[in-house]
Amino acid sequence: MSTAVLHAAVTQTPEAPSTLWQIAWRQIRRNRMAMICLGVIAFYACVAVYAESVYWYYRVKQEQPPYKAVEFNNRFATPSLRHPLGTDALGRDVFLQVIQGTRIAFEVGILTSIIAIPIAVILGALAGYFGRRIDDFIVWLYTVFDSVPYLLFILAVAMVVGKGLVGVCIGIGLTTWVGLCRLLRGEYLKHRDRQYVLAARSLGVGDFAIIFRHILPNVFHLIIISFSLRFPGAILTEVILSYLGVGVQGEPSWGIMISDAKIRLWQGHWYELVAATIAMFFIVLAFNLFGDALRDALDPKLRTAEAKTA
């Protein structure tokens, strides 16, 4: 067989085989529930971007934003056209506050991921790939971090760094990397003896190139799943921290609205509580369901769990 024929045979391959991502996307698209959830998440993301622009617009202009405007003789107003969800104890519009809460929820979700995921990936990869001493050290490290009760740890971090968004994000970020790190360590442990890794190594590829360019793409789906499942957790934790008084300061987060509504509930003013709860409920639910669908689509091993058995 001449090389020309071989060449033709290679170039004639009808189409590239579909990648894991394409298969996953196809499967997710077939899942109606997941698509609805994706729509909900996209909607919330748009709201968050809008709220972010409102926030920065007024901040740059150094004016008081409308969601902080106090109408003192219009407190605890019931829903009307002007205030679609009524007003709170200071006469601030609840609807606008819920929108701003979306912004803060997204900020918390994204910032904590930016902190936690790199730590988890780097430590998990090093531990699983190199093994031995490094592995012992990293396993020890995450066992230690795992041992500190996470809420107390976050509170302590927030006390040290300072109350507010940054403290909360660093606190949540530093406590939630352990799960993903443990998972990735296991995966790297499995992958480091696979044939493609051995092949790369025998070609003289460096350890770090193998870790990040060869193995990482093969475990990347785990990172994406972990991202979508950590997001709701971060939002729920922010609520609790706001109640405990170390959350976001001076801005209307859902947590602050819920903890403010605590006292007003007894007086029969439930709009604020219900508004913040419902707003939070849908995004958390959407992320939970979408994360599940994503896991089913991206992790073929787990897919069997949902299939039919004997």
Partner 1 sequence: MLAYIIRRALYVIPVVFGVALITFVLFNVVGWDAASQMLGKHASKEEIVALQKELGLAGPKWLNWQAARQEGWTKLFDSQWFFYCKQIVTFDFGRSFASNQKISTLMLNGMMPSLVLAVPIFVIEIVLSVAIALLAAYYRNTWFDRGIVILFVIGLSVSYLVYILVGQYVLGYRLQLFPIWGFESVRYLILPVAIGVISGLGAEVRFFRTVMLDEMYQDYVRTAFAKGASQRTVLFKHVLKNAMIPVLTNVILTIPFLYTGNLLLETFFGIPGLGYLAVEAINSTDYPVIKATVMIGSILYVFASLATDICYALVDPRIKLR
Tell me, rounded to whole angstroms, the distance of Cα 28 from its chain centroid: 19
Q: Does 284 bind partner 1 (CB under 8 A)?
A: yes
Distance CA 141, CA 227 (A): 22
Q: How many residues bind to partner 1 according to rule CB under 8 A? A: 49
- Shortest spacing between CB 199 and partner 1, in angstroms: 31
Nearer of residues 13 and 309 to partner 1, judged by Cβ = 309
User: Which one among 45, 160, 199, 209 touches partner 1, defined by CB under 8 A?
Assistant: 160
Instruction: Determine the 3-state secondary structure of 194 from DSSP.
Output: coil
**Which of these, 117, 113, 115, 141, lies nearest to 232 by C-alpha position?**
113
- Shortest spacing between CB 298 and partner 1, in angstroms: 16
Mask: binding to partner 1, 61-100, rule CB under 8 A, as x and -? ----------------------------------------
Nearer of residues 61 and 132 to partner 1, judged by Cβ = 132
Please check whether residue 129 is in contact with residue 210, taking contact to mean a CB–CB distance below 8 angstroms: yes
Q: Does 41 bind partner 1 (CB under 8 A)?
A: no
**Which of these, 212, 277, 270, lies nearest to 86 by C-alpha position?**
270
User: Which one among 46, 69, 144, 209 touches partner 1, defined by CB under 8 A?
Assistant: 144
Q: Does 305 bind partner 1 (CB under 8 A)?
A: yes
Encoded amino acid at 306, one letter: E
- Shortest spacing between CB 40 and partner 1, in angstroms: 12
The stretches of the chain forming alpha helices (DSSP H) are 3-11, 20-30, 32-61, 94-130, 132-147, 150-161, 165-175, 178-191, 195-202, 207-209, 216-243, 254-266, 271-298, 300-303
Instruction: Determine the 3-state secondary structure of 87 from DSSP.
Output: strand
- Shortest spacing between CB 302 and partner 1, in angstroms: 8
The stretches of 205-253 forming alpha helices (DSSP H) are 207-209, 216-243
Q: Show the tokens assigned to 34.
A: 């997941």
Q: Does 280 bind partner 1 (CB under 8 A)?
A: yes
Nearer of residues 42 and 144 to partner 1, judged by Cβ = 144
Q: Does 236 bind partner 1 (CB under 8 A)?
A: yes
H helix count then E strand count, the chain: 14, 0
* Interface with partner 1 (CB under 8 A): 140-141, 143-153, 155-157, 159-160, 232, 236, 239-240, 243-246, 255, 258-259, 261-262, 265-266, 273, 277, 280-281, 284-285, 288-289, 292, 302, 304-306, 308-310
